Structure 1
Amino acid sequence: MSSKKDGWKVNETREAKAAITEILSKLEIDQVIEIKDWLNKYVEETPSSQICSNYQKEQRKKMFDKGASRLDRIATYLKDKEVDVPSKAPNKLKYPTEGFDSDCNELNTCEIDSFLYDDEDIEELVQRDVLSRTYCPTCLSRETVPLNFISHSLSRLQVKFLFDKLMPSTCQHVLDIGSRLGAIVYGASIFTRGNVSTVGVEMDSEYAAISLNTIRQFGLKKIEILRDDIRHLPHVFKENQFIVMNNVFSFFLSKTEQEECWEFLHTHMRPGTVLAHHPPIEK
Structure 2
Amino acid sequence: MSPNKDGWKLNETREAKAAITEILSKLEMDQVFEIKDWLNKYVEETPSNQITSNYEKEKKKKMFDKGANKLDRIAAYLRDKAVDVPSKAPSKLKYPTEGFDSDCTEINTCEIDSFLYDDEDIEDMVQRDILSRTYCPTCNSRDTVALNFISHSLSRLQVKFLFDKLMPSTCQHVLDIGSRLGAVVYGASIFTNGNVSTVGVEMDADYAALALRTIRQFGIKNVEILRDDIRHLPHVFKDEQFIVMNNVFSFFLSKTEQEECWEYLHTHMRPGTVLAHHPPIEKITEHLDLSFSVEDWLEFVNTAEECLEYGGNDQEIYEEMESICKYIVRDSKSADASVVE
Q: Aligning the two structures, in what range does the TM-score lie when normalised by the shorter sequence?
A: over 0.9
- In structure 2, the partner of 1:160 is 160
- In structure 2, the partner of 1:96 is 96
Q: Does residue 1:124 correspond to 2:124, yes or no?
A: yes
SS in structure 2 at match of 1:282: helix
Greater displacement, 30-39 / 141-150: 141-150
Given that residues 135 and 141 in structure 1 are in contact (C-alpha distance below 8 angstroms), is that contact kept between their aligned partners in structure 2?
Answer: no
Letter in 2 for 1:222: N
1-structure distance, mates of 2:141, 2:53: 57
Aligned-pair identity (%): 87
Q: Does residue 1:67 correspond to 2:67, yes or no?
A: yes
- Tell me how far 1:92 sits from its aligned partner: 1.8
**Alpha-carbon distance change, 141 to 178 in structure 1, aligned in 2, over 3 angstroms:** farther
- In structure 2, the partner of 1:255 is 255
Q: Which runs of 5+ in 2 are unaligned?
A: 284-341
2-structure distance, mates of 1:140, 1:249: 36
- In structure 1, the partner of 2:292 is none
Q: Does residue 1:86 correspond to 2:69, yes or no?
A: no
SS in structure 2 at match of 1:228: coil
- In structure 1, the partner of 2:306 is none
- Tell me how far 1:22 sits from its aligned partner: 1.9
Letter in 2 for 1:176: D
Deviations 1:99-145 (A, max 9, x none): 22121111000001000000011111111111111100112889821
- In structure 2, the partner of 1:108 is 108
Q: Does residue 1:12 correspond to 2:12, yes or no?
A: yes
- Tell me how far 1:233 sits from its aligned partner: 0.8
2-structure distance, mates of 1:65, 1:187: 12
SS in structure 1 at match of 2:281: coil
1-structure distance, mates of 2:150, 2:247: 10
- In structure 1, the partner of 2:197 is 197
Q: RMSD in angstroms over aligned alpha carbons? A: 1.5
- In structure 1, the partner of 2:327 is none
1-structure distance, mates of 2:121, 2:140: 25
- Tell me how far 1:98 sits from its aligned partner: 2.3
Q: Which runs of 5+ in 1 are unaligned?
A: none
SS in structure 1 at match of 2:282: coil
Size of the alignment, in residue pairs? 283
1-structure distance, mates of 2:280, 2:158: 14
Deviations 1:40-87 (A, max 9, x none): 111112111110010001001100110000111100000011111111
**Alpha-carbon distance change, 233 to 143 in structure 1, aligned in 2, over 3 angstroms:** farther
Letter in 1 for 2:48: S
Instruction: Report matched runs for 1:141-180 at 5 Å.
Output: 144-180=144-180
**Alpha-carbon distance change, 140 to 217 in structure 1, aligned in 2, over 3 angstroms:** farther
